[in-house]
Amino acid sequence: MRDSVPIFIPAIPFALVLGVAITESALPAPIGWSTNFVIFAGAAQLATVTLAATATWLTLVTTAAVINLRHVMYSAALAPRFGPQPQWFRWLGPYVLIDQVFALVNQRDDLDDDTWRRYFLSCGFFFLVGWNITVTLGMVVGSEIPESWRLGVAPAVMFTGMVVIGISNRPGIVAAVVGAGVTLLALELPHNSGLLVGALAGVVTAYLAETMMNRHNPNDEPDDEPDDVKLHIR
């Protein structure tokens, strides 16, 4: 939970804006608020409540699904950690797998399976509770939230805060720059699919950058000498 607090802070403006959007949506307020549990994904929730008056239910579901396609990459990355876990966790854990939780748990290779599971659930339910409290607060005090915090700024603040903690090496920097640039160029693609295109571009670029870096790093070359030979040389 201590690790979660710094990365939750950039999500607060987004949660407050979502609360305002729920009160202004064509959806009844209780149904809009229920998306905190039914969807629990900020960008997909925002799309759902803002398009409710102008789109069919099929369009809403499709839009939310396209926005959340990035979770397929999260799932693929965490599959090795989920494999040894008990079945109840493999069913429950994905419910709280959001962007911030992935950013935190994906870096904890130092934890054994049991500790990692407790860490994952602690982060996930911290965000679930904090998100619901902050969105509810946005619904109550929505009129006091400045216009400058509205839709264009709040999501960017949240995702920027999440990306910064995950950049720890050169491939990460390359992925962030390329992903942001491609997303910016692809903003006009339908159904907010520019985010997915940018994410894929960042992943591919990071993979290529890491491959090239390893190829030029002699420390990563395989060592096929037997141990007795190395000992004799020493």
pLDDT tens-place values along the chain, 234 residues long: 899 998 898 888 888 889 988 998 888 999 999 999 999 988 889 888 988 878 788 888 888 888 888 888 899 999 999 999 999 999 999 999 998 999 899 989 999 999 999 999 999 999 999 999 999 999 998 766 666 555 555 455 555 555 655 566 677 777 778 887 888 888 777 766 777 788 788 888 888 888 887 777 655 544 444 444 444 444
Predicted confidence at residue 30, as pLDDT, reads 93
- Short-list 1, 5, 2, 39, CA closest to 135: 39
> What is d(CA 67, CA 191) in angstroms, rounded to the nearest whole number?
8
The contacts of residue 177 (CB under 8 Å, 6+ apart) are none
Q: What is the signed CA dihedral for 101, 152, 9, 203, rounded to 10 degrees?
A: 30
Neighbouring C-alpha atoms within 13 Å toward the C-beta of 101: 27
CA distances from 78 to 134, 197, 232 (A): 28, 21, 42
Residue in the structure block whose two tokens are 């640039």: 181
Helices vs. strands in the chain: H and E counts, helices first: 13, 0
Query: Which pLDDT does position 228 carry in this prediction?
Result: 47
Domain extent listing, the chain = 4-150, 167-221
95 close to 75: Cβ distance less than 8 angstroms: no
Sequence-distant (6+) residues with CB within 8 A of 184 are 198
pTM above 0.85, yes or no: no
